[in-house]
Amino acid sequence: MRYLIPLMVTVILTACQTSNEEMITPPEAKKVEKVLEIHGDKRVDNYFWMRLTDEQKEADNPDAQTQDVLDYLNAENDYLKAKMKHTLELQEKLYKEITDRIKPDDESVPYNKNGYSYYTRYEEGEDYPLHCRKELADGASEEVMLNGPEMGKDKSYFAIGGRSVSPDNKLLVYGVDYVSRREYTLFVKDLTTGELLSDKIENTTGGASWANDNETIFYTKKDPQTLRSFQVYKHKIGTDQSSDQLVYQEDDETFWISLQKSKSDEYLMIGSHQTLSSEVRVLDADKPDGKWRVIQPRERDHEYSVSHYGDHFYILTNDGAKNFKLMKTPVDQTEKENWVEVIPHRNDALLEDIDIFKDHYVLTERINGLNQLRVIRWDGSDEHYISFKDPAYMTYVDVNPEFESNVLRYAYSSLTTPNTIYDYNMDDRKQKIMKRTEVMDDNFSPDNYVSERLFATVRDNVKVPISLVYRKGTKLSAETPLLLYGYGSYGASMDAYFSSVRLSLLDRGFVFAIAHIRGGEEMGRAWYEDGKLLKKKNTFHDFIDCAKYLIEEDYTSSDHLYAQGGSAGGLLMGAIINMEPELWNGVIAGVPFVDVVSTMLDETIPLTTFEFDEWGNPKNKEYYDYIKSYSPYDNVEAKDYPNLLVTTGYWDSQVQYWEPAKWVAKLRELKTDDNLLLLHCNMDVGHGGASGRFKRYKEVALEYAFLLNLEGI
Which one of 271, 294, 317 terminates a domain? 294
Report the alpha-carbon angle 173-177-179, nearest 5: 165
pLDDT confidence tier of residue 366, bands split at 50, 70 and 90:
very high
Four-point Cα dihedral 255, 260, 264, 268, nearest 10 = 80
pLDDT score for 627: 98
Q: Whole-angstrom Cα distance, residue 463 to residue 315?
A: 32
pLDDT confidence tier of residue 24, bands split at 50, 70 and 90:
confident
pLDDT confidence tier of residue 158, bands split at 50, 70 and 90:
confident
Based on the domain organization, do 600 and 701 belong to the same domain?
no
Spatial neighbors of 28 by CB under 8 A, at least 6 apart, are 668
Radius of gyration of the chain from Cα atoms? 26
Based on the domain organization, do 120 and 159 belong to the same domain?
no
Domain annotation covers residue 227: yes
Based on the domain organization, do 190 and 290 belong to the same domain?
yes
- Say which CATH number the domain at 263 has: 2.130.10.120
Average pLDDT over residues 335-341: 96
Burial class (CB in 10 A: 0-12, 13-18, 19+), 580: middle
pLDDT(12) > 50? no
Q: Whole-angstrom Cα distance, residue 341 to residue 398?
A: 26
pLDDT score for 17: 46
Domain annotation covers residue 236: yes
List phi, psi (to 5°) of 562: -130, 155
Q: What confidence tens digit (pLDDT) does each residue in 267-304 have?
A: 999 999 998 999 999 999 999 999 999 999 999 999 99
Which one of 151, 172, 206 terminates a domain? 151
Domain annotation covers residue 165: yes
Based on the domain organization, do 139 and 163 belong to the same domain?
no
Q: State how far the alpha carbon of 328 is from the alpha carbons of 314, 317, 377, 702, in Å.
A: 4, 10, 15, 51
Domain annotation covers residue 77: no
Domain housing 218: 155-294
Domain annotation covers residue 458: no
pLDDT confidence tier of residue 227, bands split at 50, 70 and 90:
confident
Domain annotation covers residue 691: yes
Average pLDDT over residues 322-351: 97
Residues 162 and 175 sit within 8 Å (Cβ to Cβ) = yes
Q: Whole-angstrom Cα distance, residue 499 to residue 414?
A: 9
Based on the domain organization, do 176 and 229 belong to the same domain?
yes
Based on the domain organization, do 680 and 619 belong to the same domain?
no
Based on the domain organization, do 175 and 144 belong to the same domain?
no
Based on the domain organization, do 146 and 160 belong to the same domain?
no
Based on the domain organization, do 713 and 678 belong to the same domain?
yes
Domains of the chain: total: 4
- Give the residue among 648, 590, 611, 461 at the shortest CA–CA distance from 536: 611
Domain annotation covers residue 554: no
Average pLDDT over residues 582-607: 94
Based on the domain organization, do 172 and 256 belong to the same domain?
yes
Which one of 105, 124, 151 terminates a domain? 151
Q: Whole-angstrom Cα distance, residue 571 to residue 490?
A: 13
Strand pairing class (383-385; 35-38):
unpaired
Highest mean pLDDT among 50-54, 292-296, 604-608: 292-296
Q: What are the strands of the beta sheet with 304-309, ordered from one edge?
A: 304-309, 312-317, 325-330, 340-343
Q: Catalytic residues, which ones?
A: 567, 652, 687
Based on the domain organization, do 124 and 222 belong to the same domain?
no
pLDDT(97) > 70? yes
Based on the domain organization, do 124 and 177 belong to the same domain?
no
